[in-house]
Amino acid sequence: MVVPVILYGSSVLRKHSAEVIEEDNILKIKEFLFDTIKTNEGIGLAAPQIGLLKRVFVIDTNPVVEQDVTIEKFEGIFINPSIIDSDSDDIIYREGCLSIPDIYEEIYRPEKILVRYHDISLVTHEEELDGIKARIFQHEFDHLNGILFTDKISLIRRKLLTSKLNRIRKLSQSQKTEHYADII
From the candidates 23, 111, 128, 140, give the one annotated as an active-site residue. Answer: 140
Contact assessment for residue 127 and residue 81, using Cβ atoms and an 8 Å cutoff: no
How far CA 49 is from CA of 9, 71, 90, in Å, comes to 12, 25, 26
* Catalytic site includes residue 140: yes
Cα separation, 126 vs 118, whole angstroms? 9
Distances (CA, A) of 62 to 49, 72, 98, 169: 20, 9, 16, 29
Just list the catalytic residues. 140
